[in-house]
Chain A
Amino acid sequence: MATATGAEESELNTYWCHECDMSVALSSSRSSPLMCPHCRTHFLELMDSPSQNDAVAPLSSLSLFDSPFFHRLIHHHLVSNSNTNTTDSPNDDVAFEDPLSLLSPSLISSKTASSKSSATAVPVILVTSALLSQLDPTGVVSCAVCKDDIEIDEEAKQLPCNHLYHSDCITPWLELHDSCPLCRFRLSAAEEEAEGEEEDGFDGALTSSEIRSQLRAAMVRLSELMEEEEDDFYGLRTTLNHIASRHGLIGSNGASVVSEEGEGGDSENFSRIGGGNGSE
């Protein structure tokens, strides 16, 4: 088994697909003509071949970057960034929420709240006089849990049914029950609806955790490769910069927006690759 795997990997070559503007890793030993797995065209160019000595690790990382999921992630990131209310690709939301935070946590903050439990899903707000007068012409709104009036600048939660409570008052209730004390509006009803929409479109080729771990590993390598200033690591940096700038992830000066450090195992894996590169 081990030798068979090794032989197969040594025959992998990196090609540039001029249609997709990205690199793809393909096996050259196939009898069928080479074809880009993404656009199904043959406009491929063999890229500078990596040294066969330490081919295994870099090739495996290349295949991660060539993963269609990676490109969908970047695409989705930009789509969701430019139009936060879009339902264009709801299938990506579940799987890609975590890796997105590796790229830019601020962009997804608005999305995360809806996937938490009822008790914590409702955001805490600071009461304003505008809110109070909106809820009641006299501007006097009392909390149905403690029966005290809700004052300006107090921390409060407004449920989807618009009923307003002190944050500290409604949270224990929502931990025990799933409804508004005043009108019995069910919070999970709204949530289930939203989650159902998200899950319906998921094609499920890989489990979300598999995609997550692949993307995380890819992100770690990407971030570290971006820091390599001296060598163009097998042309990989140029390739990645090209992909990233094409997708608008980084500026034209090549400044990276990927800042997240990876987990221990991934960093260790990379340092082995980086070491091999430096010695050559």
Chain B
Amino acid sequence: MANVNVHSEAAQDNNIAPSKQPLSLPKTVDSQSVLRRLQSELMALMMSGDSGISAFPEEDNIFCWKGTITGSKDTVFEGTEYKLSLSFPNDYPFKAPKVKFESTCFHPNVDVHGNICLDILQDKWSSAYDVRTILLSIQSLLGEPNISSPLNPQAAQLWSNQEEYRKMVEKLHKLPSA
């Protein structure tokens, strides 16, 4: 956990001078490039003005972000809002971040712990993806689940009945965060 605070300091110093980076990091050069990339993503995300998605680093750690997505119009998730956590590895963007739902999400490809089954977060990861495209992908996954390999079989089964599904979504959405 010591690393967490170090990362945070590094992030704040990054704009001023690279030489001010703390030397206690195991991989100083790598960490610097990860920090630069995450800062660049944060800027781009704030400038983009995408509706329905947002994300911001946690106060003390730029390697951990909190994101939100809202359900798209004309889907059973319309009007709902979900919180997610994004945890970036030290070799980001060469490896995918770990992304989980923090809110309860009743969805065929999301399990009860909030784990998401999405190819671009696993074997189809590309370093060209970023927070923005990840959140947009999850947002579109909500309305277009992959029923054939569900993490939540109950949700997969109910999907064919959109009216009942909508009721379930509304019911679970009122519940406090998991």
A residues apposed to B, CB below 8 Å: 144-148, 169, 172-173, 176-177, 179, 181-182, 184
Question: Hey, which chain B residues are within 8 Å of A148, CB to CB?
Answer: 36, 40
Q: Kindly state the separation between the CA atoms of A146 and B37 in the bound complex, as whole angstroms.
A: 5
Known: A145-B127, A147-B37, A148-B36. 20 other contacts (CB 8 A): A144-B128, A145-B37, A145-B128, A146-B33, A146-B36, A146-B37, A146-B40, A147-B41, A148-B40, A169-B127, A172-B91, A173-B94, A176-B94, A177-B126, A179-B126, A181-B126, A181-B127, A182-B126, A182-B128, A184-B126
Provide the residues of chain A in CB contact with B91, threshold 8 Å: 172
Residues from chain A with a CB closer than 8 A to the CB of B41 are 147
What CA separation (Å) do A169 and B91 show in the bound complex? 12
A-B contact pairs, 6 of them (CB 8 A): A145-B127, A146-B36, A146-B37, A147-B41, A177-B126, A181-B126
> CA–CA, A204 to B33, complex, Å?
49
Bin chain B's interface residue count. Answer: 10 to 19
**Given the complex of chains A and B, what is the CA–CA distance between A53 and B17 in angstroms?**
78
CA–CA, A184 to B130, complex, Å? 16
When distances are taken between beta carbons in the complex, the residues of chain B under 8 Å from A144 are 127-128
Q: Report whether over half of chain A's contact residues are helix, strand or loop; otherwise say mixed.
A: loop
Q: Is B153 part of the contact surface with A, judged by Cβ < 8 Å?
A: no
User: What residue of chain A has the Cβ atom nearest to residue B44's Cβ?
Assistant: A147
A145 touches B40 (CB 8 A): no
Flag if B36 contacts A145 (CB, 8 Å). Answer: no
By a CB distance below 8 angstroms, the chain A residues around B36 are 146, 148
Q: In whole angstroms, what is the CA distance A94 to B40 when docked? A: 46
B22 CB to nearest A CB, Å:
21
A177→B94 CA distance, assembly (Å): 9
Question: B40 contacts which chain A residues (CB < 8 A)?
Answer: 146-148
A101, B93: Cα distance in complex, Å: 40
Whole-angstrom CA separation of A148 from B41 in the bound complex: 10
Contact A181 B37 (CB under 8 A): no
Q: How far is the CB of B120 from chain A (nearest CB, A)?
A: 11
The distance from the CB of B35 to the nearest CB of chain A, in whole angstroms, is: 11
- Shortest A123–chain B CB gap in Å is 20
Contacts of A146 in B (CB 8 A): 33, 36-37, 40
